[in-house]
A = this chain, B = another copy of it.
Amino acid sequence: MVTVPARRKRATIHDVAVEAGVSRGTVSRVVNDEPYVSAQARTAIEAAIEKVGYVPNNAARNLVMQRSQAVGFVVHEPHSLFLDDPNIGGILLGANTVLSRADYQMVSLVIDSQRDTDRVARYLSGGFVDGVIIVSARHEDPMIRVVEKLALPAAFVGHPPDLRRLPFVGIDNRRSARLITERLMQTGRERIGMIAAALDRDSGADRLAGFTDALGSRFDPNLVARVPLYTYSDGAEGMRALLAREPDLDGVFAASDAVAAGALEALRDAGRSVPGDIGVVGFDDSSWALRTQPHLSTVHQPAFGLGAAAAECVLGQLRGEDQPADGILLETPIVWRDSA
C-alpha cells in the first residue's frame, strides 16, 4: 500500500506582504494589477511573490467577489449520444477553450432523465455557476424556464422556437439544407429523397424545411423518411424505408453525417453503388464524413466555433455587455467530396 503524503501549506497574501514589507492591500493591488502602486513597491512585491511562491486563493476571492468563476455546460442528451455525437465534443472543446482562457472553469452537466433536470436546475440556482451554456435544448425545454426565472447569463446552442429573447448561437440549418440540396440537384439527380431526423428539435425541423424549399414544386412527401435520432442505426433504418417506398431514388439528403453513414450501409446491403447509382449528402462534416466509403459530401458545421461563440456570449453578459437579440449565426461552407 501507498500512503498519501502530507501537503505543505500555501503562501498567502499576508506572507507576501510581510516579505515585501508592505500592507496586504498593496499586494492585492499589484496582484490584480491596479494603478496607484509605486514602481518601487511593485518590484518588491513581485520579487516577494516569486520568493514565497504565492498563488491567489480562488475560494477566498470568489467569496468576497460574490461569484463562482464557473460556467455550466448542460447537455440535454442521453449519455450514450454525448459520446457518439462528435458535434457535442467539438462544442464542448470550443467552449472550454474560451472559458479557460478567461480563467473560468467549465462544469459539464448532462441531463438524461427528469431527475437530472431537477438536479441541474437546483445546481444552477445554487450559485455554483455564474452563467450557463445549453446545448441541444428541445421545444418547451424545462431549461428555458429555469434560465429565465433565474435570470442567469446564458447562451443556447441552437434555438428552440419558444426561446423568446434568450441569447443563442447557431447556424442557419434551413438555408444550409437548401443549399446542399440544390447542389445535389445540380449533379443531375431526378428523384431526391431525405432522411429527416430529430424533428422535435429546431435543427431537425429546419433541415427538413430547407430540403422542401430547395425542391419547391417538385417536393414529394413520400420521399422523406422520418426517424427519431441523428444516429447511424436510424440512418440505415430510414434508408431502407425510403428504398422500399421509392426504388428509383437517385439522390438522398441525410439529416446528419451519422445518418448518412447508416444510409450508406443500407445502400451497400441493397447493392446500390454510391455515387454511381445514387448520390448521398450529409450534414455536419463530423469525423464520420471521412470514415465512410466513399467520403461524404456534406455541410460543414463549425462545432468548435459554436462552443467558442457561446462561451464568448455568456462571458460578454458577465461583463455586463448587451447581446444581439436575434442570436449569432455562424457560417457553414459546403464540403464536396465523393459521395455525390
A268 proximity list for chain B (CB < 8 A): 293
Chain B residue contacts of A70, Cβ below 8 A? 105
Main SS class of interface, A: mixed
The smallest beta-carbon distance between A103 and chain B, in angstroms, is 10
Given contacts A55-B126, A152-B7, A167-B2, contact A83 B93 (CB under 8 A): yes
Whether the pair A232, B291 counts as a contact (CB closer than 8 A) is: yes
Q: A2-B323, A58-B128, A127-B57 are in contact. Are A83 and B10 (CB under 8 A)?
A: no
Nearest B residue (CB) for A164: B2
Minimal beta-carbon separation of A20 from chain B (angstroms)? 20
Contact: A151 with B2, CB < 8 Å?
no
Segment 73-116 of A: residues with Cβ below 8 Å from B: 79, 82-84, 86, 89-90, 93, 96, 100, 105-109
Task: Please pick, from B60, B93, B150, B288, the residue contacting A63 in the complex, using a CB distance under 8 A.
Answer: B60
Binary interface profile of A, 102-139, with partner B (CB < 8 Å = 1, else 0)? 00011111000000000000100111100000000000
Over the window 317-340 of chain A, the binary record of Cβ atoms lying under 8 Å from chain B Cβ atoms (1 yes, 0 no) is 100111111000000000000000
Distance in angstroms between the alpha carbons of A194 and B274 in the assembled complex: 32
A303 to chain B: closest residue by CB = B83
Copies in the complex: 2
**Whole-angstrom distance between the alpha carbons of A215 and B79 in the complex?**
39
Residues of B within 8 A of A244 (CB): none
Set of chain B residues within 8 Å of A2, measured between Cβ atoms: 165, 167, 322-325
A59 within 8 A of B: yes
- Identify A7's interface contact among B89, B150, B321, B322, CB under 8 A: B150
Residues of B near A100 (CB, < 8 A) are 109
Contact of A89 among B89, B127, B320, B322 (CB under 8 A): B89
Q: Write out, one digit per residue, whether chain A residues 248-262 have a CB within 8 A of any chain B CB (1) or not (0).
A: 000000000000010
A153: interface (CB < 8 Å): yes
| Chain A residues close to B by CB (< 8 Å) | 1-8, 10, 53, 55-60, 62-63, 68, 70, 79, 82-84, 86, 89-90, 93, 96, 100, 105-109, 122, 125-128, 150-153, 165, 167, 232, 261, 265, 268, 287-288, 290-291, 293, 317, 320-325
